[in-house]
Amino acid sequence: MLVTLSFEQIYQRCDLAELDFADTTELNQLTRPLGQERALDAIEFGVDIKHSGFNVFALGPPGVGKHELVNSILATRGENHSPQFDWCYVNNFDDPQKPLLLKLKAGMGSRFSKDMLQLVEDILISLPSAFLNEEYRNQLREIEETMNERHEQAFSQLSADAKKQNVVLVRTPAGFSLAPTDGDEIISPEKYAELAPAERERIEKNIAKLQLELQKVVSQLPMLKREASREIQSLNKGITRLTVEQFVDSLKAEYQDYAEIIDYLQAASDFAIENAEVFLPQDDAVEVANVKQKAIAFIPFRVNVLVSNTPGDQVPLIFEDNPTYQNLIGRVEYISEMGNLATDLTLIRAGALHRANGGYLVLDARKLLSHMYAWEGLKRTLISGEVKISSLQEALSLGSTLSLEPESVPIKVKVILLGEPFLYYLLQEYDPDFTKLFNVAAEFSGSTERNPENLQLYAQQIATMQQREGISPIEKNAVGRLIEHASRLLEDGARLSLGLEQIGELIREADYWATKRNSKVIASEDIEKTITSQRHRHDHIRERLQQQIIRDIKLIDTDGSKPAQINGLSVLQLGNHAFGTPTRITATARLGSGKLIDIERESRLGGDIHSKGVMIISAYLAEKYAREQPLPLSASLVFEQSYGGIDGDSASCAEVCVLLSAIGDIPLRQDLAVTGSMNQLGEVQAIGGVNHKVEGFFNICAERGLTGRQGVILPAANQVHLMLNADVRDAVKAGRFHLYVANHVEDVMAQLTGIQPGKLGKRGQFSKGSFNRRISDRIDALLKLQRKFGNSAEGDAKSPNGN
């Protein structure tokens, strides 16, 4: 027999007597979130344990406050921790493509960067001045005069030797030449032609010898210039060394405890001494006004402070909202110069792992996995214990642009991933590295038991949100309504939803409605207004579907009785909005071979779970009515006017009833709708979305007019889930709408037909007048027809002569 539910049984009200306050201003904030003790313990363990591999994966449904709880725990873990460091990149003078890493105490990175910038400014100002003083100019002039003097001496000696042989050394714009002389005059070509051949031969031999000597003297000039140049370079180095080392030595004294800085400063000093010209202006003027810009542009001495910390700060707590590969690992940026891409050490950028070094990094698992190579990059870092900055193209061996290769940063970080349970179990199943790196699972609950103790704590949770966000105080009756809505969200009157995000949105909107009516507190009417408004904003499609039913475009009967036709119930989910709607299910039954055709499945609209439900129905029919004989019928099931996919087994109870109606030609009440799954024994099982389903059928009946006979049959196991809206509750209270709970499909069939199922007698027959007897009799009749047609077919198959 079905049990009719009373008004009190379809909605679990909040007992306001269990809430000891007038409004939420009288309540203390919760220091530990309600219902998350298991997750809290796991996070604290994962954060506190120092061994590698104990990173945390916080798993749970969206909106339960994973991020807030993780942040609140990590914020208290920063005081007794190892000191923080600054990480800097500086130029590698031996290989500029591989910048060097410096590890400095917190706060020293920016200081060292400023000191290096000042060093460049000092050199840019002082070095040109050193090269402009009189002493330097005198030394430079002396080197040049010495070179010229040696050069002239060589020519003078050559000229004297030539004169002894009656040859003169002549300087021309084109160079030097040798000519014969007669006394002090050069012999003209005409006179030279008149000389005796022996004399001309003697002169030519002398000139040839002197020509060789001239070539030697001329060839010595580059060597003299090289020697002078070396002397000048030596002089310049000496001047540069005196200028540069006085500044560098002062920095060395300041950073004497840092061997890496001392080595870098020495390399920088050597570079400046060897390349003094880069510090000198193009002309003799020292442009003091542009020194700072020139110092900034002088890359070899720049310090790139990758990560800067302040002494005394708590450990880093970084939440990376966009965990791409480069945002995690860091990157080397490029600038366009004359159509070409160029980079330098100042364009190295830190990633979230650098900023979280020595602390905690919180990531959204779904976002992390959605970005190419980000998960692999994170794993590589955690396994190796260092961050290697490389482009995604380089990591995938696709890059062709010459890039920097910064020294890897050693890292010690605790990573906390936030995600849904299915992501956790997928990673655990398919990634062998996952369990090695994330040994701690912090599982958040989506609900908690609804008992007096938790009601008070839930009220405190609401007060915590109200007080932290500066929302108007919430009256006790409004808190009670929120608690009831929390059960409604969960579709379980015995439990409370811990979806704080939804509750928070509701409170904020209720604050708006309270302010609009000039109230300083949020009352239950504001909560009710918010719930109604939220539903109304998303209710357009439901209203359109309901109008199709009211206008008889979609056929649904809510009165009378008809065979082989029943009202099933389904739920449509559109984002976060769900609503129920009735669906007509029909069946046919005829003589056949026992095949049950699922038209939804045959048309590829039915899902696997729905097909499973239909097979269970087929097994139930065979067990119930054909244990010792064939089932001589073929039947079909279909959801009428359904043009999309159908899945789930929540209609299997209605489907077996409509099949039995089709087999026995038994009318079914159309003023009742049925929901519930069933097993092979005919037991009715719980389903989801029961509140939406009941309200969906109620809305149609109310629109057409309640007759006092209409209602919904649902599984008894779903009674605890009922949190129906006020319209349904009022109709049930007034006796204009009914809810029935069932444990067996025979009880459902009895309610739909008004006929009892009957009992199976000793002769294997059901009681007369029962619907089981009518169905059995119909099956027997079909079996006789099957035998008759079978014999006829056998006779037709015989040969004409009777053989």
Percent of the chain with pLDDT over 90: 48
| Confidence label for 803 from pLDDT (cuts 50, 70 and 90) | very low
657, 619 contact by CB (below 8 A): no
Mean pLDDT of 347-372: 93
List the catalytic residue out of 476, 554, 624, 693: 693
Residue 413 exposure: Cα atoms within 13 Å on the Cβ side: 31
Q: Do 36-81+314-444 and 556-757 have matching folds?
A: no
786 vs 369, residue with greater confidence? 369
The DSSP secondary-structure symbol of 85 reads E
pLDDT tens digits for range 189-208: 777 676 777 777 777 777 77
pLDDT at 286: 47
pLDDT at 800: 42
Nearest to 638 by CA among 615, 606, 685: 606
Q: Which two tokens mark 584?
A: 């007509």
| Confidence label for 401 from pLDDT (cuts 50, 70 and 90) | low
Mean pLDDT of 724-728: 93
Q: What is the mean pLDDT of the chain?
A: 86
H helices, E strands: number in the chain: 27, 31
CATH of the domain spanning 36-81+314-444, picked from 3.40.50.2000, 2.40.160.20, 2.40.50.140, 3.40.50.300: 3.40.50.300
221's CB contacts (< 8 A; 6+ apart) are: 151
Q: Which CATH class is domain 556-757?
A: alpha beta
- Euclidean distance between CA atoms 370 and 383, whole angstroms: 21
| pLDDT higher than 80, residue 577 | yes
pLDDT tens digits for range 318-329: 999 999 999 999
Residue with tokens 């890039």: 403
Mean pLDDT of 604-620: 89
Mean pLDDT of 471-475: 93
- Euclidean distance between CA atoms 97 and 89, whole angstroms: 12
List the catalytic residue out of 308, 570, 642, 650: 650
The DSSP secondary-structure symbol of 314 reads P
Q: Is 650 a catalytic residue?
A: yes
pLDDT at 799: 41
Percent of the chain with pLDDT over 70: 89
What are phi and psi for residue 669, nearest 5 degrees? -65, 130
Where residue 708 falls (left for φ over 0; alpha for ψ -120 to 50; beta otherwise) is left
pLDDT tens digits for range 105-158: 988 999 999 999 998 888 888 877 777 777 767 777 777 777 676 666 766 776
Domain ranges of the chain: 17-31+448-537, 36-81+314-444, 114-159+217-297, 556-757
Residue range 17-31+448-537, CATH number: 1.10.8.60
Q: Is 693 a catalytic residue?
A: yes
289, 334 contact by CB (below 8 A): no
pLDDT tens digits for range 634-648: 899 999 988 888 888
Q: Which strand ranges, in their side-by-side order, compose the sheet holding 304-307?
A: 100-105, 85-90, 304-307
Mean pLDDT of 435-450: 92
Mean pLDDT of 693-702: 95
| pLDDT higher than 80, residue 217 | no
275, 269 contact by CB (below 8 A): no
